Amino acid sequence: MRLLVLIFLMSSFQTCLALDTVRYVHSKEHSDFKDQYFIELLTLALEKTKPKFGGYRLQPVAIDMPQERTSIMLERNEYIDLTWRMTTKDLEQRLQAIYVPLLKGLVGYRIFIIRAGSQSLFNENMTLEQLKSLPVGQGYNWPDSDILKANQFNLVLGHSINLLNMLQKKRFDYFPRALYEPWLEIKNNDKFFVERNIALKYFSPMYFFVNKTNKRLAHRLNMGFMKLIDSGEFDRFFNNHEMISGVLTKVNLHQRKIFELPTPLISENTEKLRDDKRLWFTEF
């Protein structure tokens, strides 16, 4: 009897000490300033669930690969446990989405990086057809590329690390980026500017994704995010984060012509989230 009690106590003790390890890709050679936002948000969600799930360990994996390759690796349950990407129907079929838009829909608003001296191509009276006729640059396997292609834009594809160089060499005339991206991507580089008059808008949330068999991590993250949303902590994090704070003033979105594009990539599960006002940024 004493032996059984001892075994039970040791098992309980080991369970308490168990850590959920969460591995994610973190490139050293091509580090992305945006990654810190997602890592900090992931940490908040995991912290909220420590009373129920115990400790955790975040483990960056230094592998350089494009987004789609990262998704394939996660689907195979190899090397990583989590990634963050703009969602698509296909991605939600292959991986388990955590249905909380990490950037509250802000990622679907796009402004352009352009070459210095080319602002005249984008006048304030520009039509959508005129914009579509100009060559536009995007990355291979990006959901944005599929959205622009479905809307008959003059699309030029390249590897993400080469796109600014391709823009400079006039392979295309503009490079759409999320509102918070251009400023640091072209910081102290006078060869490029942020275009002043035009913006694109499409419904395209970004989620955390895990392997479909990783029920524990999916449950833990869902619970953590619900706690963050219900307490208002998610909103405070989003509004005050250095990547987001001040961007709307800088972008001057109210004075831009905004072309809204339909997207063929949205699943029924994602479509259902539209009516939950807590999840979206609406202060435009």
Q: What CA–CA distance (Å, rounded) separates 43 from 53?
A: 14
> Does the pLDDT at position 3 exceed 70?
no
| Average pLDDT of the segment spanning 161-165 | 94
Nearest to 142 by CA among 113, 170, 177, 114: 177
pLDDT band of 7, cuts 50, 70, 90: very low
> What are 116's two structure tokens?
């210095």
Residues 18-49: tens digit of each pLDDT = 689 999 998 766 557 789 999 999 999 999 99
SS3 content of the chain, % helix, strand, coil (to 5): 45, 20, 35
| CATH T-level topology, domain 19-102+205-249 | D-Maltodextrin-Binding Protein; domain 2 (3.40.190)
Number of residues that this document lists for the chain: 284
pLDDT band at 8 (very low <50, low <70, confident <90, very high): very low
Q: Cβ distance 207 to 88 under 8 Å? A: no
Per-domain residue ranges of the chain = 19-102+205-249
Cα 31 to Cα 34: distance, rounded to the nearest angstrom: 9
Asked if residue 258 has pLDDT above 80, the reply is yes
Q: Which residues contact 194 (CB under 8 A, 6 or more apart)?
A: 111, 112, 113, 114, 182, 183, 186
Token pair of 218, please? 């999916």
Looking at residue 183, its pLDDT comes to 86
The stretches of the chain forming alpha helices (DSSP H) are 2-17, 35-48, 50-53, 67-75, 89-94, 128-133, 143-150, 163-168, 182-185, 215-231, 233-240, 247-251, 268-271
Q: What is the pLDDT of residue 283?
A: 55
Q: How confident is residue 68, by pLDDT bands cut at 50, 70 and 90?
A: confident
Task: Look at the pTM and tell me if it is higher than 0.75.
Answer: yes
Per-residue pLDDT for 6 more than 70? no
Q: Which amino acid is at 138?
A: Q
| Phi, psi (degrees; rounded to nearest 5) at 239 | -65, -30
> Are the C-beta atoms of residues 284 and 254 closer than 8 Å to each other?
yes
Is the confidence at residue 228, as pLDDT, over 90? Answer: yes
pLDDT range class, residue 240, cuts 50, 70, 90: very high
Predicted pLDDT at 31: 59
Please report the pLDDT score of residue 21 as a whole number: 96
- Are the C-beta atoms of 164 and 171 separated by less than 8 Å? no
Tokens for 267, please give them: 């699943």
